[in-house]
């Protein structure tokens, strides 16, 4: 298939040369924005082991990428088309990360090291229905409590605020968890 054939396919069978220049530019931006958004979400699906979703997002994103690229190459005489392509890419990255953050699928591991208030922190986590495990250890400053707590990703900020309110000196790390099975039930 020629570039003009791909460009016609991308415009639903309409020759892009017959469209107003601003509409072609807008189409390139939207195609590239959508394909990059899907590609960003696809990478996150791959990291979480969601093979079927990754395939669908990869197929759709690749098709849109080819259509956007063909439209730019077919209409190189209009200088804004290349800018629309680049702006669509940048916007798609931003939008993909924004969507993924809103979805906040999966779980995170909070690793909390508390020098003084570990008991209060773990009691509060248990009281809010979260499973948590407490370990006692030593640091250069003396005895510390380390707490492991798995929470839904969308609850990480709330848990961090809860921990900080009880122990502002606590050291908290957050790791995304690929898979979580079994364990403590409320």
Q: Rounded CA gap, 130 and 119, in Å?
A: 14
Helices (H) and strands (E) in the chain, counts: 6, 4
Convert the pLDDT of each residue in 127-186 to its tens digit: 988 888 999 888 887 888 899 998 888 888 899 999 999 999 999 999 887 666 666 554
Q: Are 118 and 134 in contact (CB under 8 A)?
A: yes
DSSP-derived letter for residue 164 is H
The percentage of the chain sitting over the pLDDT mark of 70, rounded to a whole number, equals 85
Query: What is the per-residue pLDDT for 1?
Result: 41
Please state which of the ranges 21-25, 56-60, 89-93 shows the lowest mean pLDDT: 21-25
Alpha helices in 75-153 (DSSP H): 80-103, 118-127
- Both tokens of 74, joined, read 């077919």
Q: Rounded CA gap, 126 and 105, in Å?
A: 22
Query: What is the per-residue pLDDT for 49?
Result: 82
- pLDDT-based confidence at residue 3 (cuts at 50, 70, 90): very low
Domains of the chain: 3-103 (no CATH), 107-177 (3.30.70.120)
pLDDT at 7 over 70: no
- Both tokens of 161, joined, read 């605020």
Q: Are 24 and 14 in contact (CB under 8 A)?
A: no
- SS3 for 138? strand
**What is the side-by-side order of every strand in the sheet holding 132-139?**
132-139, 142-152, 107-114, 171-177
Handedness of CA 114, 123, 162, 173 (dihedral sign): positive
Query: What is the per-residue pLDDT for 63?
Result: 94
Handedness of CA 55, 64, 43, 172 (dihedral sign): negative
pLDDT at 15 over 70: no
Q: Are 16 and 7 in contact (CB under 8 A)?
A: yes
The CA-CA-CA angle for residues 54, 158, 120, to 5°, reads: 130
């Amino acid at each position: 298939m020629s570039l003009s054939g791909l460009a016609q396919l991308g415009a639903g069978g309409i020759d892009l040369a017959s469209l107003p220049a601003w509409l072609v530019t807008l189409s390139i931006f939207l195609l590239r924005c959508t394909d990059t958004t899907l590609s960003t979400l696809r990478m996150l699906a791959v990291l979480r082991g969601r093979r079927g979703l990754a395939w669908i997002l990869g197929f759709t994103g690749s098709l849109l990428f080819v259509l956007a690229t063909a439209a730019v190459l077919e209409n190189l005489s209009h200088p804004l088309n290349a800018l629309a392509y680049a702006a669509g890419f940048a916007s798609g990255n931003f939008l993909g990360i924004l969507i993924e953050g809103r979805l906040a699928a999966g779980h995170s591991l909070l690793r909390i090291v508390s020098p003084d208030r570990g008991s209060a922190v773990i009691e509060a986590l248990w009281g809010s229905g979260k499973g948590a495990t407490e370990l006692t250890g030593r640091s250069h400053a003396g005895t510390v409590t380390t707490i492991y707590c798995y929470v839904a990703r969308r609850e990480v900020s709330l848990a961090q605020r809860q921990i900080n309110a009880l122990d502002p000196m606590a050291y908290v790390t957050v790791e995304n968890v690929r898979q979580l099975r079994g364990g403590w039930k409320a």
